[in-house]
Amino acid sequence: MRLLLFLGMIAFACVLAGSYGMFHNQISYAVGPDYFYAYKFQQFRIPAAQHGPIGAAMVGWAASWWMGLVVGVPIAAMSFGIPNLSLATRAFVTSAIIVVVLTLGLGLASLLIPPPMAFLPIPLNVSDPEAFGQAAMMHDTSYLGGLIGLVVGVIYMGYKVRHARRTT
């Protein structure tokens, strides 16, 4: 039973991460569509007929679902330290939501900072380099946010495991 729960948690984390990527890319596409046309659509081999918000969502899924493994496996593994399955599941879901909120918050916060244009390789066919830079920075910051979220999620799960052991 516990192994099935573990696998379900990882599947949930992958779906959550992929869905986050789809949502995130709707925002970054709105900010800098050139980032997708000049870079991401080719990188992920999105057919020309799907270039636009649908293609951005496809890129978001492909670029993000695997972060569910990176985040989900350690946090789900830590859930084994909570004997009660219901509490373990709740702690896992809360931890996963914390990761998503931190990742989104940092990604959105990056839009408030001018991109470091001197350090960004801007393709020649980009019509709005600043918007391209904002979208690129949002993407990079979101990966960093995911890793920071992982650390916070692990800390939170560690707290829940310690609490569960004290009360058992």
Q: How far apart are CA 164 and CA 162, in angstroms?
A: 5
Low-confidence ranges of the chain (pLDDT < 50): none
Question: 67-92 pLDDT, tens per residue?
Answer: 999 999 999 999 999 999 999 999 99
Q: How far apart are CA 9 and CA 89, in angstroms?
A: 8
Per-residue pLDDT, 22: 98
CA distances from 120 to 35, 57, 85, 129, 168 (A): 12, 23, 47, 9, 53
Q: How far apart are CA 35 and CA 132, in angstroms?
A: 5
The tokens describing 92, both together, are 């896992």
Per-residue pLDDT, 1: 85
Per-residue pLDDT, 25: 98
Q: What is the pTM of this model?
A: 0.92
Helix, coil or strand: residue 46: coil
Per-residue pLDDT, 124: 87
Per-residue pLDDT, 78: 96
56 closest CA partner among 40, 68, 67: 40
Listing DSSP states for 96-152 in one string gives: HHHHHHHHHHHHHHGGGS---GGGS---TT-S-HHHHHHHHHHHHHHHHHHHHHHHH
